[in-house]
Chain A
Amino acid sequence: MIINSSSVQIRKIKENTVQAILFGCAIFSVFVTAGIIGVLSFETFEFFREVSIIEFFTDTQWTPLFTQKHFGIAPLLCGTFLTSAIALIVAAPLGILTSVYLSEYASPRVRRVIKPILEILAGVPTVIYGYFALLFVTPLLQKVLPDLPGFNALSPGIVMGIMILPIISSLSEDAMYAVPQSLRNAAYALGSSKLQVSFKVVIPSAFSGITASFILAISRAIGETMLVAIAAGQMPNLTLNPMESVMTMTTFIVQVSLGDTQTGTIEYKTIFAVGTMLFLLTFGLNIIGHKLRKRFREVYA
């Protein structure tokens, strides 16, 4: 067969074009991420030219929109941690027990039904969770706790726990399922019951994977916006009392973004300072979470 050199040329050009386009797509998201980080850093830098970093971390009041301005991020951090902590308190035990059931007890058929249903929970728009917290869970809680205000940390915290439940149960279940059968056999051969195998062998062996699922879930909770903006209130409040209204970092960003704040003012720059804090927190947690997950995989590779 005679090789037609011009068709070879054309094929080469095609291949190279396709490769260039694909590379462009891949690099696009990298550039966008870099751009976001760049804008965040620039505006944050501008912010700290006007507000001292010491005040930012030590002041106990957050009132950038008032005439008497205070720039202490502590109340926002506090609100964020409070709602996230409540979410974790709800989701961690429930998530672990769910994953123990799915990994150790459920028959393959039950697992095939329940796992996708749990994952649908993760697909519900968070604005729906927000109204669910505000209009259903809060009134319900008020029947038990009559002093509970309409906006509080408790109700969105609980609902956020339900929201992050699929993250914990799904990732923990992966980790537990990956524990080698030989370890279960060893435990059974030593006279363990199924419960003992689950709690004394499988959970400890999957520990780093479970921890990773917690961290990734907290990271999701910290970044969650709509739910807390709707149901937790708009009051920067330095408190760890779940019965009070709190403002999270994300809620503040929503509040300023929706207002008529002028570009270039200090109020405008606060968004970026708070955004950077949020970004660093979730970014750090994600890195730790993924590292733990990877380490877990290496142990049983």
Chain B
Amino acid sequence: MSQNLNAGDVCLKVEKFNAWYDQFHALKDINMDIRKNKVTAMIGPSGCGKSTLIRCFNRMNDFIPTFRQTGKILFEGNDLSDRFIDPVEVRIKVGMVFQKQNPFPKSIADNVTYGPKIMGVRQKSRLDAIVEESLRNAALWDEVKDKLKSSALSLSGGQQQRLCIARALAMQPDVLLLDEPCSALDPIATSKIEELIIQLKEKYTILIVTHNMQQAARVSDHTAYLYLGELIEYDETTKIFTAPAQKATEDYITGRMG
């Protein structure tokens, strides 16, 4: 497997990582370095393990009783997957946006301040500043600044998803995980989120799972192709999409498989 990703600092280092659901071996010996301030896309057919992998970075698999894992995911010198590390601490540093937009049935402002409030921020002026900054960073401020008190459920699907991004950004995470963030959105809303992802990588390390190959090509710097739980190829996106080293990758990208 080629790994010509020398540019930039390593943010997350996955080492000999294996995962199982019961007897099912979902991830097999994954080794990969995820670079800081880059967008890393994970592609592959359904069931290839890309969602399982992304959920390992913020310990969301902890809720699945049959889930087991071995290996390491190093972040700032700590192993995120260590069971002695508090998953709550991990999730403060590693934010996540889900496949289907899931705003709380609260006001727009309350959605954004949810995270800071549980972290103990009480000061009104500070919270207001967080709301504005997060919504600006999520490219939603201009659309909602006059109705911050109205329900988040009154927004369109694309706006709701950007609100979910804003909500994650309000925690000031280091890493942002996006699990098929556009799969429930129309093309216009999708292109807005894609523009946003490209802007956000200046401040955050972003991992995105996507079924949409064009989307991976458009937004990511690096792409990982997974198949049946194995990391088949991981390289710069331009290389993966123009001259993949593996035949399997080429077959998937050109649509002969998957």
Contact = CB atoms under 8 A, between A and B. Distances in A.
A and B associate in one complex: yes
Interface of A: 180, 182-183, 185-193, 196, 200-201, 204-205, 299
Q: Is the interface of A mostly helix, strand, loop or mixed?
A: helix
Given A186-B98, A201-B104, A191 B88 contact: yes
A224 to B, nearest CB: 34
Contact of A186 (B63, B102, B119): B102
Contacts of A186: 98, 102-104, 164, 167
Contacts of B95: 189-190
B106 A204 contact: yes
Interface of B: 58, 60, 63, 88-89, 91-92, 95-96, 98, 100, 102-106, 114-115, 118-119, 153, 164, 167-168, 171
A189 B96 CA distance: 6
A200 B118 CA distance: 9
Q: Quick one: which of A190, A192, A200, A205 has the most chain B CB within 10 A?
A: A190
Contact of A192 (B58, B102, B118, B168): B118
B137 to A, nearest CB: 16
Given A182-B98, A183-B102, A183-B104, A189 B118 contact: no
A296 B100 CA distance: 20
Nearest to A197: B118
B106 A190 contact: no
Given A192-B88, A200-B114, A204-B105, 6 more contacts: A183-B102, A188-B63, A189-B91, A191-B89, A196-B118, A299-B153
B114 A190 contact: yes
A189 B60 contact: yes
Contact of B119 (A185, A191, A200, A205): A191
A252 to B, nearest CB: 44
14 contacts: A183-B105, A185-B102, A186-B102, A187-B114, A188-B63, A189-B96, A189-B98, A190-B114, A191-B88, A191-B91, A196-B118, A200-B114, A201-B104, A204-B104
A115 B98 CA distance: 33
Contacts of A201: 104
Contacts of A190: 91, 95, 114-115, 118, 167-168, 171
Nearest to A180: B102
